[in-house]
């Protein structure tokens, strides 16, 4: 079942139309206020819009599409950092220093996480959201080592 929400125009600004859901008495709102760029809407902005939420799977590049020199096999999941194919939701990872592609975050920011272990919540094209004791943070693959 695909959840759908009907949104009503609340107000407009120069560049945006702002919509909000008005759920029935026995329902809870599916989302909060949504701002839509006016260029993406017909003119004048419609008084109601319908939004459907569907799962979206990002297509992962095939192993053949990896850049030359990219780590593969066992090298990809050891201290050199993880890859998209090595990580899955629920995997345990350790935060490591990124020595391959340079530091993506300021060194003082990364130091607070080095050596900590966490669980992968989801992956993106360039990294993964990791649940740690203190919350969740996104890390590039080169700063993650798979531990399970």
Mean pLDDT per block of 10 residues along the chain (148 residues) reads: 84 93 78 88 90 71 48 40 69 78 61 87 85 86 82
pLDDT for the residue 31? 84
- Domain containing 114 equals 76-146
pLDDT for the residue 69? 46
Residues 31 and 81 in one domain: no
Residues 91 and 31 in one domain: no
Backbone angles phi, psi at 9, to 5 degrees: -65, 125
Residues 80 and 37 in one domain: no
How many structural domains does the chain have?
Answer: 2
Residues 129 and 82 in one domain: yes
pLDDT for the residue 125? 78
**What is the pTM assigned to this prediction?**
0.43
pLDDT for the residue 8? 92
Residues 86 and 40 in one domain: no
Would you put residue 13 in left (φ > 0), alpha (ψ -120 to 50) or beta? beta
Separation CA 27–CA 23 (nearest Å): 6
Question: Helices marked H in the chain — which ranges?
Answer: 107-111
């Amino acid at each position: 079942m695909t959840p759908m929400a009907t949104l009503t125009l609340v107000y407009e600004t120069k560049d945006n139309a702002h919509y909000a859901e008005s759920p029935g008495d026995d329902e809870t709102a599916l989302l909060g206020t949504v701002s839509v760029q006016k260029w993406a809407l017909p003119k004048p902005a419609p008084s109601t819009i319908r939004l459907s939420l569907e799962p979206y799977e990002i297509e992962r590049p095939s192993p053949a599409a990896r850049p030359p020199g990219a780590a593969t096999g066992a090298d990809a999941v050891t201290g050199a950092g993880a890859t998209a194919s090595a990580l899955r939701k629920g995997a345990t990872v350790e935060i490591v220093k990124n020595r391959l592609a340079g530091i993506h975050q300021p060194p003082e920011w990364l130091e607070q996480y080095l050596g900590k272990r966490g669980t992968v919540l989801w992956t993106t094209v360039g990294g993964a959201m990791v649940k740690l004791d203190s919350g969740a943070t996104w890390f590039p693959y080169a700063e993650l080592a798979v531990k399970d």
